[in-house]
Amino acid sequence: MTGKTHITGGIAASLAFAQVSHYEPAILLIGGVAGALIPDICHGSSKIGRSLPILSKLISTLFGHRTFTHSLLFLLLMTVLFQAVLPNEALAAGILVGMISHIVLDMATKRGVKLLFPLRVTVRLPLTTSTGSFVEHLVFAALSVLSVYFGYGLFNL
Ligand SMILES: [Zn+2]
């Protein structure tokens, strides 16, 4: 999936989560967008990879693409890390929701993700698409509509 789809996925997921949580929606939203970008630190050409080239190179060399940073293990480690260093619970929750949305969207691609890293099992959804395809544009459109729908109620647009 492209960065644009991931950002929209993070927006839709964090606003959906805001409906059922007591956290401040605006903070969840900021976290959701950030979290949606974090897993692609393993891609040097991604938005976050270009901002942090050295860290990105290190992670892709150590783990490869769509492995460690797209796994349940990574989500767990980030949860522990946030509890230790991030005083804002809403922001931490938003980032986690954004990262989960990213991983789920990548599971909808043919390449899938190594969700169970360090196990080398590729996990993908029964229906998949390829990055930049027509179906991805449809997914992007659907996520945009969902974002507006959830945002409408939360922010009284
Ligand atoms: Zn990814």
The confidence score (pLDDT) of residue 155 equals: 80
What is the tens place of the pLDDT at every residue in 54-111? Answer: 999 999 999 998 999 999 999 999 999 999 999 899 999 999 999 999 999 999 999 9
**Ligand 1 centroid, distance to 116 Cα (angstroms):** 15
- What is the spatial distance between Cα 88 and Cα 75, in angstroms, rounded to a whole number? 17
Q: What's the CA gap between 32 and 9, in Å, rounded?
A: 9
Closest CA relative to residue 37, chosen from 108, 98, 112: 98
Residues with CB under 5 A from ligand 1 (ion): 39-40, 106
Distance 136 CA to ligand 1 centre (A): 14
pLDDT of residue 157: 55
Q: How far is the CA of 106 from the centre of ligand 1 (A)?
A: 6
How far is it, in rounded angstroms, from Cα 142 to Cα 43?
Answer: 25
Q: If residue 27 lies in a helix (H) or strand (E), which one and from where to where?
A: helix 25-37
- If one counts the domains in the chain, the total is 1
Cα 9 to ligand 1 centroid, rounded to whole Å = 12
Site of tokens 């939203």: 29
Selection from 4, 1, 10, 15 nearest residue 148 by Cα:
15
Q: How far is the CA of 156 from the centre of ligand 1 (A)?
A: 32
Q: So what's the pLDDT on residue 8?
A: 97
The per-residue DSSP string of 70-112 comes to GSHHHHHHHHHHHHHH---HHHHHHHHHHHHHHHHHHHTBTT-
- Structural domain span for residue 80: 3-155
pTM: 0.93
DSSP 2: -
Identify the pLDDT of residue 26.
96
Q: How do residues 102-157 score in pLDDT, each as one tens digit?
A: 999 999 999 999 999 999 999 999 989 988 899 999 999 999 999 999 998 888 65
Instruction: Find out whether 47 and 112 touch, Cβ atoms under 8 Å.
Output: no
C-alpha distances in Å from residue 71, one per residue of 9, 99, 100, 124, 134: 18, 10, 9, 12, 27
Interval between CA 27 and ligand 1 midpoint (Å): 23
Rounded to whole angstroms, the Cα distance separating 147 from 19 reads 12
Residue range 18-25: average pLDDT? Answer: 95
Model confidence at 33: pLDDT above 60: yes
Distance 101 CA to ligand 1 centre (A): 10
Cα-to-centroid distance, 29 and ligand 1 (Å) = 19
